[in-house]
Every structure is written in structure tokens, then in C-alpha cells.
Structure 1
Amino acid sequence: MTTASASATQRVAVTGLRPLDPRRDLPEVVQLIEVGFREELDPLGLKMLERLRRQASYGGWSQLLWGGTLNLEGFVWEERGRVVGNLSLRQAAPGWSGGRIIGNVVVHPDYRGRGIARALMEAAEQAARTEGARWLGLEVRSDNAVARTLYTHLGFQPVGEVAHLLRPGDLPWPDYAAPRSIWRRSRPEDRLLWAGLVEKTLPRLQAQVLEVRPELYLFGSFERKLELWLSHERESAWIQASLEPRLAVSVQSDLKRRFHVWDVWVFPPQDEVGAREAVARALASVPRQRHWPIITFVNSDTVWVSVLQGLGFVQHRLLTQMYHALA
């Protein structure tokens, strides 16, 4: 960061920028996120907001009850005792990558255009540098030109784009052919196969920002089953029976809120036949009595978008992953 940037950060700090104090700020931050991202909240977003509200309501007990599930570090901007800006900052996973992830950058609509977002971002970069981080990553709506321009000016570069797709629950369930490939249920020891498939599909820096790592794919482990049971969720994960699988599918169902999240992968990413086979496996994994909304995230430049739109999925938003090298 330049001397001028550091001076600017110091000036704004005395007028409203300070580190996030979870016990003090979380209720207002939850309200701010709801106002700032109201149009973006699908069932998965509403679930995360509900968890934040629960943390806020439990106060000092939240870390004991929900510790480690949500990030509670970052910066806020305060105006006359009111939190009007927020940014979260946390260590990227895996920890050895040396990165920090920025999230929930939001400014109240009444206070936008005053340089608050820039001040929050500069504070986050300075904190990351102080901690010895080597890179910063974030996601932003692809159509948010103001935010993307700010991040570009601060040194961030786009490294990928993900389409956030949603299939409404009131649509008739699609007809589909039975899966043809030889599939088997995923086991915890398949985590390296899953991570390898995902890493082959995504550009390296995009995979870093999305925090791809084997620990995400511990399907069937006791710890994962327990976590799902406590959350009233169910999960079914399948991988192509091969030494080098090219297809993988997981379906997570929230039984309380009644929606599904699909994670679908095919290599090469333009393999339409493979994509349709993965979709058949995903559809076959959903019990017929649970034809609820489906959420999925797929790279926007792959065959997935057209295949899923043919099944009634609609684009909820496009998300651009951005990367900023610090070292």
C-alpha cells in the first residue's frame, strides 16, 4: 500500500472505520447484510442469514454453540453510533496457501458513494499484509460495475466466473433417463479424486479463490454425517467408478427449509454427454417426494449452463472471482 493510501486509511479510521466487534456489532451487521443483499438471497442465502441471526441472538454463547461455522472478523464503518458498512476478512483454506478471503462487503444504500467501501478494502489489505498474507481473494456480482471498478483499481484481477443457477420448486419434475455410467457412492478416501477432478476443471487462481481442497469432499465420514444430522440435512454423493473419474455429483438436501444444492462436475468441462449423465445421476438421487427448489453453481463458460437451463434452471446471478497478489 502506498503512503498516500495508508494516510487515507488513517484519516477515515478516525471518522468511522474500526475493527468488527462481534458481540457489539453482529445484530446491526446482520440487518445491514439483509438490506444490502436483499435481492440476491435465495434459499441458501436465507439459511446463512438465519445462522447469522442465531449467532447474534446467542451473544457471548455463539462461539461455544456455533464456533467455527461463520467468520466473525473484519471491519465496520460507523456513523453516529450506527453501523453502515461492513467487510469480513478471514484466512483462506487451506491455511498454507497464504491467502485471505474478503466477503460481505456492503454499505447501506443511504451512505454509498462516500468512499466507505474503499476505506474498508484498504483496511483489509493493510491487515492482510500485516499478517503476512500473500494474496487476497473475493467474489462480486459480475454486473456490479461500481464494485468491480473499485476492486480493479485496488489491484484485483478477475480469474473466473461462476453462474449461480436456481430451479424453482413449482416446476414439474423433469423426465430423465436412468444413469448409464458405472457410478459408486463416494467414500471419505475419495476426497483426493474429487479435488483432483475439480482442480482439472477450474483455472488455478479461480480454484484458490473458491478454496478448493480435499477436505470439502469427505463424503460419508462420521463427522460429516453427524453435522448433517444436527442440521436436518441429507447428502448423497457419487463418483464415476474409474481410476481417473471424469464425473462426480453430490446432492445435499435441507429437510427443514426444503431445498437441494447440487455440486456437479465433468471433465472436460465442455463434455455435454458427460454433463447430461451427471444430471441424470443427480435427479436419480432426489426422492420423488422432495421435488423442491434446486441451487447449483457452475462455471459460466462451460456446457453446464445450457444443459441445466434445458431442465428449467434460471440464472440467479453471475459471480466473478477476483485475485490480488500481495507478495
Structure 2
Amino acid sequence: MVIAEGSPAPHGLRPADVRRDLHGIADLLAEAFSGELDEVGWRVIRELRRWSRLGWLLRGLEVFLPPGERFAPGYVWVEEGRIVGYTMVRRLRPGSTGWLIANVAVAPDFRRRGIARALVSACLDYARAHGARWAVLQVRADNLPALRLYQGLGFVEIGRIRIWRREHLSPPEPTPVPGFHVRPARPTRDLSALLDLVRMAESPALRLFEPFEGLSAWPPGWPFRWRPRPLWLLETESGDPQALAAWVRREGIPTLRLFRRPQTVPSPPLQWLLALALAEIAPGPPLMAVTGEEPDLAAALMAAGFHPVRTLIGMRRDLAPEGWGDAG
């Protein structure tokens, strides 16, 4: 059952209201995720608090936005006037039948009371009522209670994403490897091979949550040197593409995307590829990298000075149209 907007709820579950809830949602996210927020997460919380001053204006603008594309889509749980639970639900993109559930947060003192389950279930009902055919979410691999909750609600794993960080150290010394060749990729000449390599390497989770757009925006000037070469290709001597290292901007942070053929690539040529890619980046803030769970890429990144920050599990649940029953 979908709980309608404007439903009276002095406590318990109700739809989030952009006019009055943004500051409380920001406070909750800061409390619930205080030990794992990075620079991007804290920036989002600061922006929520700033936007909370414009709640009535945002509410007026929401009249022109379809369900799932508004400023505070989702549900809150209220106790004694305080927001102690929140979950966001929105379309993955305008007009999509796939919806995203995110920011499942419950204040520490109110956990293990069924609040998270109620919030996620309400979001699933809302998405289904507005045409969703499937929903996805991400959960940290070490968050076992949340993982069990989502599995109990019918979500299944579709892939894992590893986030890496490297302080801005000097790049490792490139060491050529016999039988391989590393060169700057040229999208005009190499586009077909690059697209095939990315398609083979991307898991469904990467494709949904970290879509790679480095081949559609050429050349991306910042944060590279005056002669930008953000794409580096590892090939065999016969010209067979093996791996791609691509610099992108992820939430404003220089981030390395790595893709390799489905079979394992030896570590020495991957380290050569990384060394040349790292030599391209201009001095600045710490660097990030995003991969799947490939052991060979992990070994090469660690050899180049990266360390894992977190592993996220992508999960998906198919949704039957409203009235067909609910598997969760």
C-alpha cells in the first residue's frame, strides 16, 4: 500500500516533505553514516542543509516534476518530531522503468526495530505504483545486517564495485614488459576496440552505478597536463587490446577507471599501464580508482600505491506490476 503525500503522521512512516524535512534528513545522514562519509558525502550533507532554507520554493517547483524525479523523493520515519529514518527512491533516469533505492539510514538508537524494512518496503510500493519494473540499490559488503535485510526483501546480487584511494605520491617508474605494448589510446582510431573492451569488462553493477562515459567526452582537459592523454591502452605485440586505463572526473575527483579482458592479465604489464597513466595526472588532491572485483587489477593497484576504501554490492529486485502480489 502506497502512503499518500500529506498523510498525517506525527510519528512513524510518512513521505518525505521537501518543505520541512531536508535539514532533519541531513542531520540523520551525518549521524547514521558518520564513520564512512568521504569528502563527497559531507558535501552532499552541506548542500542539503543549504537547500533546506528554500523548502517552500522547492515544493512549488515539484508541481512540475513527475513522481520519482522530485527534490526529496522517499520516506522518513519520525519519532517525537525527530527524523530517525530515511530512504530515498527515484528513477534511475527520466522515464526509466528502473528505480534506485539509496541512503537507507536509521539513527543508531532506533535500529533493529523494523524501521529500515518499513522504509524500503514503502519505497518499493511507491516505485511499483508509478510504473517501476525493477529496483536496484547498493550496500557495503561489510554491512551484514543490511545485506540480510535486502536479501529478505527479494534483492539479488548483480556485481561488486571496489573504490580505491591513493595519496598524491610520485608515480611508479614505468617498466616495459616483453610481449606487450602500452600507448595512448586514440578514440577516433581505437573506438570500436575500446567499446568492446569496456563492454566485456563491465559488470551489471558497474554499468548501472558507475557508467563509464570516458569515450563520449573527448578531450577532457582538467585535471590533465597541457597535452591531455587520459586513455591508455595495453596491447599484445600483435595489437590485441588487453586492458584500458582511463582518467575521468567522479564527483570532481580525478578517478582512474580500469577495464581488462575477461581472462586474467599478468600483473607486470598492468603495472606498466598504471605507471604511464599515473604519470599523466597533474599535481593535486588524492586520487581515486573504481574497479570490479578482479584480483589482477587489485594487485596492480596496490603495487601502484592505491589502497581499498570500500566494496559495494550492487543488488536488484524485479517488481511485479501493482496488484500482482509482492514477493517481499
- The correspondence of residues 52-67 of structure 1 with structure 2, limited to 5 A, is 52-59=48-55
Aligned: 1:318 with 2:319: no
Residue 306 of structure 1 and its aligned partner are, at CA, apart by 1.4
- The answer to whether the Cα contact below 8 Å between 2:165 and 2:307 also exists between their aligned partners in 1 is yes
More helix by percentage: 1
Aligned: 1:173 with 2:167: no
For 1:303, the aligned partner's letter is D
- The correspondence of residues 50-199 of structure 1 with structure 2, limited to 5 A, is 50-59=46-55, 72-93=72-93, 95-96=95-96, 98-169=97-168, 172-177=169-174, 180-184=181-185, 186=187, 196-199=196-199
Secondary structure at the aligned position of 2:104 is classed as strand
Partner of 1:261: 255
Secondary structure at the aligned position of 1:164 is classed as strand
Secondary structure at the aligned position of 2:132 is classed as coil
For 1:276, the aligned partner's letter is Q
How many angstroms apart in 2 are the aligned matches of 1:61 and 1:261?
Answer: 35
How many angstroms apart in 2 are the aligned matches of 1:294 and 1:309?
Answer: 13
How many angstroms apart in 1 are the aligned matches of 2:50 and 2:263?
Answer: 39
How many angstroms apart in 2 are the aligned matches of 1:248 and 1:94?
Answer: 30
Correspondent of 2:12 among 16, 36, 53: 16
How many angstroms apart in 2 are the aligned matches of 1:83 and 1:46?
Answer: 19
Residue 90 of structure 1 and its aligned partner are, at CA, apart by 1.4
Partner of 2:277: 282
How many angstroms apart in 1 are the aligned matches of 2:242 and 2:71?
Answer: 33
- The answer to whether the Cα contact below 8 Å between 1:100 and 1:136 also exists between their aligned partners in 2 is yes
Partner of 2:323: none
State the Cα deviation string for residues 270-296 of structure 1 (Å, max 9, x = none).
323553244124202212x33x31222
- The answer to whether the Cα contact below 8 Å between 2:75 and 2:119 also exists between their aligned partners in 1 is yes
Residue 18 of structure 1 and its aligned partner are, at CA, apart by 1.4
Residue 241 of structure 1 and its aligned partner are, at CA, apart by 9.6
Return closer, same or farther for 1:209/1:241 CA change in 2, 3 Å cut-off. closer
Partner of 2:216: 218
Partner of 1:3: none
For 1:175, the aligned partner's letter is P
Secondary structure at the aligned position of 1:165 is classed as strand
How many angstroms apart in 2 are the aligned matches of 1:42 and 1:247?
Answer: 29
Return closer, same or farther for 1:107/1:54 CA change in 2, 3 Å cut-off. same
For 1:238, the aligned partner's letter is L
- The answer to whether the Cα contact below 8 Å between 2:161 and 2:205 also exists between their aligned partners in 1 is no
Return closer, same or farther for 1:90/1:193 CA change in 2, 3 Å cut-off. farther
State the Cα deviation string for residues 49-104 of structure 1 (Å, max 9, x = none).
3443443355456799xx999963111111122111111111124855x2111111
How many angstroms apart in 2 are the aligned matches of 1:62 and 1:216?
Answer: 33
How many angstroms apart in 2 are the aligned matches of 1:161 and 1:123?
Answer: 26
Kindly report the root-mean-square deviation, in angstroms, between the aligned alpha carbons of the 2 structures. Answer: 3.9
Aligned: 1:26 with 2:19: no
Return closer, same or farther for 1:83/1:162 CA change in 2, 3 Å cut-off. same
- The correspondence of residues 226-305 of structure 1 with structure 2, limited to 5 A, is 237-238=230-231, 240=233, 246-252=242-248, 260-268=254-262, 270-271=264-265, 272-273=267-268, 275-287=270-282, 289-290=283-284, 292-305=285-298
Between 1:19-28 and 1:148-157, the stretch displaced more is 19-28
Return closer, same or farther for 1:159/1:69 CA change in 2, 3 Å cut-off. same
Partner of 1:232: none
Secondary structure at the aligned position of 1:129 is classed as helix
**TM-score normalised over the length of structure 2:** 0.75
State the Cα deviation string for residues 136-192 of structure 1 (Å, max 9, x = none).
1111011111101110100011121122222234xx4242217852323557x95x8
Between 1:143-152 and 1:239-248, the stretch displaced more is 239-248
How many angstroms apart in 2 are the aligned matches of 1:150 and 1:40?
Answer: 20
How many angstroms apart in 2 are the aligned matches of 1:184 and 1:301?
Answer: 22
Structure 1 portions without partners, runs of 5+: 1-5, 230-234
Return closer, same or farther for 1:264/1:110 CA change in 2, 3 Å cut-off. same
Q: Which has the larger radius of gyration?
A: 2
For 2:281, the aligned partner's letter is V
Secondary structure at the aligned position of 1:248 is classed as strand
Residue 202 of structure 1 and its aligned partner are, at CA, apart by 2.9
Return closer, same or farther for 1:263/1:99 CA change in 2, 3 Å cut-off. same
How many angstroms apart in 2 are the aligned matches of 1:311 and 1:199?
Answer: 25
Secondary structure at the aligned position of 2:150 is classed as helix
For 1:220, the aligned partner's letter is W
How many angstroms apart in 1 are the aligned matches of 2:24 and 2:16?
Answer: 11
